[in-house]
Structure 1
Amino acid sequence: MAITAADVSKLRKATGAGMMDCKKALTEAEGDFDKAVEIIRKKGQAIASKRADRDATEGVVLSKVTEDGKNGAIIVLNCETDFVAKNESFVAFATSILDAAIAAGANDIEAVKAIDLDGRPVQELITEQTGVIGEKIDLSAFDTVSAESVVAYIHPGNKLATLVGFNQAGFDIQVGKDVAMQAAAMAPVALDENSVPAEVKEKELEIGKEMARNEGKPEAMLEKIAMGRLQKFFKESTLLNQAFVKDNKLSIKQYLDGASKGLTAVDFKRFSLDA
C-alpha cells in the first residue's frame, strides 16, 4: 500500500524516530501502524545492545522541587556527545523523566526506570531513544532531598546541578539559592564535620601526618599538626563551614543564621558531569 506523508508524520510523532526510519518501518510493516511502531522499538533495542559498551560521558544534570517546596530530585541522563546533550528534545526527554520521578515519589534509580511514562516504563523509553538518536543513553544517577524547604539549582549548560534542604520554610528564597549555588561552585564533600565519613577523616589525618613528617616536624607533634590540618579540611570542604563565596568573612552556617535565626542546611546533593 502507498505510504503517505501523514502516515510518516504520525509515526514520527509517536516514536520520535527520523523521517526515513519511519518510512522504512511503515513500508516493512505494509502500512500497519502498530507493527511499524514495534519495528522501530526493536531497532532501538538492537542499537542499544550494540552500543552497550560505549562510553556515555556527556549528557545533562537536572534538579527540581515539588510545588510545596519540601521535596526535590536530581538526575543525570547521559549520552555520548555534547551535540546530543544540547539538543532540545534530549533535554526535554530528561525533564520528562525527572517530572515523572517527582510525581511518583521515586526514591532510587531503579524505581525511576520502572515508572510508567506515556504508557511505558522509563527504561524502555530510554532504550527506544538510543535507537532514535543512535547514541548510548543511560540514566546513571538519581537522588532526592526532603526537608522543610528544598531549593534546586541547575548551572547554565545543564552539566551541574544541586539540591539543598533547609530546616525552615518561608525565608528569603535568594538565601536558599545562594547556598545551592555555593554547593555547585565549591563542591563540598559533606554537610559538616559530623557528616564526613570516618574513613575520609582517617585518610586526611594520615595525609596530614605524612606532610608534617616530610616537613621535618617532630614525631611527638605529628598528631596535633594533623588535627589542625583536619580542621582546615572541614572549613574548606564541608558546606556549612565553607566561607560564603559572596562574603568570605562569613561561613555558610553564619550566613544562614544571620538571614533567619536558627536557619541551617540539613542535607544536600550535588552531581556534575565533570566530577
Structure 2
Amino acid sequence: MAITAQDVNKLRQMTGAGMMDCKKALAEANGDFEAAIDILRKKGQKVSAARSDRQTSEGAVFIKVNDAGTKATLLALGCETDFVAKNEEFQRLGNTVLEAAVKNDMDTAGEVLALHVDGRPVAEHLTDLIGKIGEKIEIVSYEKVEGEKIVPYVHSNGKLGVLVALKNTGGADVTEAGKDVAMQIAAMRPVAVDKDEVDAATVQREIEIGKEQARAEGKPEAMLEKIAMGKLNKFYKDSTLLNQEFVKDNSKTVAQMLDSIHKGLTVSSFKRIQIG
C-alpha cells in the first residue's frame, strides 16, 4: 500500500513521533493507523495519550440533568469553526435537540436524528442549518448516565463535557467532591472507573507492548512476563480513575479522596466527551 505524505503527517500529529519513524511504522502496518501506533509504542517512540480525542471539528457540548440528580444526558454537536460553534442559532439548535431527546428518552444518536421536532426529523433541522451557515454540522456524540448522584461538568471552552455518577453518598452533599472528580476525568482521561472494568483486549495489548519494550531493552525472555505485569499495574494506576493520583492532592488516590469525604463514597460510572 502506498503511504502518502498526508498519512505520515497525520500519524505524526497523532503520536508526536518523527516523520521517518511514522513512515516506517505505516509501511510495516500496511497503512493501518492503530497498528502503526502500536509499532511506535513497542519501539519506544513518543506517542500522545490524547490521540483518541483528536478531531478536526469544532462544536459545543450540551448537558441536562434531571431534577432528582439521578439521570443526565450529554449531547455533543460538531461543526467546522469556532465561530459557528458560538453562533446563536447553533447553540439554540443544540439545546432544542437535547431537550427533545431527554423528553422522549432517546438512547442513541441515531434515534435522536430520527426524532421529530416541530413535525420534522432532527436530521432535517441539521440540514437546514447546514444550508444556512455553510458548514458541516453533526451529532458527534450522545451519552446517558444514571446513578445515585450525577454531577456534570463542562469545560470553559464548551467543547469538553463530563458526567460522573457517584454511589454510596449516604445522603451527604457530595456535589463538590463530584465536581472535583469530573474535573479529574476531564484532565486525566481515565479509560475506566477501576482496573476490573478495563476490557480484556486493552489489557492484552498493554501486556504485549510491555513485553516488546522489555525485549527491546535487552531484558531476559524469562523476565518479560513479570516486567510486563509491572508495566500493566502502572497502566492501571495512570489510566483508571479510582487508582489515579488525585490532582488536587497527589498524596491520595481518587478512591481515597472520595472515601475521606464519606465512608464508602465511590464512582459507579462516567462519560467524557471532547470535541476537537
Tell me the TM-score normalized by structure 2. Answer: 0.76
Q: Provide the C-alpha distance between the structure 2 equivalents of 1:108 and 1:126, rounded to a whole number of angstroms.
A: 17
Corresponding residue number in structure 2 for 1:271: 273
Aligned to 1:106, the other structure's residue is in SS state coil
- Cα drift, residue 136 of structure 1: 1.4
Corresponding residue number in structure 1 for 2:232: 230
Q: Provide the C-alpha distance between the structure 2 equivalents of 1:56 and 1:227, rounded to a whole number of angstroms.
A: 36
Task: Find out whether 1:213 has 2:247 as its counterpart.
Answer: no
Give a deviation string over 1:140-192, Cα, whole Å, max 9, x none: 21111111111111001111111111114543210111111111111111111
Letter in 2 for 1:59: G
Corresponding residue number in structure 2 for 1:202: 204
Letter in 2 for 1:176: G
Contact 1:149 1:168 in 2 (8 A): no
Percent of aligned pairs with the same residue? 50
Letter in 2 for 1:113: L
Letter in 2 for 1:214: A
Corresponding residue number in structure 2 for 1:175: 177
Corresponding residue number in structure 1 for 2:193: 191
Corresponding residue number in structure 2 for 1:242: 244
Mapping of 1:62-141 within 5 angstroms? Answer: 62-141=62-141
Larger Rg: 1
* Pairwise CA RMSD: 1.6
Corresponding residue number in structure 2 for 1:148: 148
Aligned to 1:150, the other structure's residue is in SS state strand
Change (3 A) 1:168 1:91: farther
Q: Provide the C-alpha distance between the structure 2 equivalents of 1:273 and 1:140, rounded to a whole number of angstroms.
A: 8
Aligned to 1:178, the other structure's residue is in SS state helix
Give a deviation string over 1:111-149, Cα, whole Å, max 9, x none: 212223233321221111111212111112111111111
- Cα drift, residue 89 of structure 1: 2.7
Count of paired positions:
220
Contact 1:56 1:138 in 2 (8 A): no
Q: Provide the C-alpha distance between the structure 2 equivalents of 1:90 and 1:203, rounded to a whole number of angstroms.
A: 40
Letter in 1 for 2:235: F
Letter in 2 for 1:136: K
Task: Find out whether 1:253 has 2:255 as its counterpart.
Answer: yes
Q: Provide the C-alpha distance between the structure 1 equivalents of 2:73 and 2:128, rounded to a whole number of angstroms.
A: 24
Change (3 A) 1:56 1:131: farther
Corresponding residue number in structure 2 for 1:44: none
Q: Provide the C-alpha distance between the structure 2 equivalents of 1:108 and 1:101, rounded to a whole number of angstroms.
A: 9
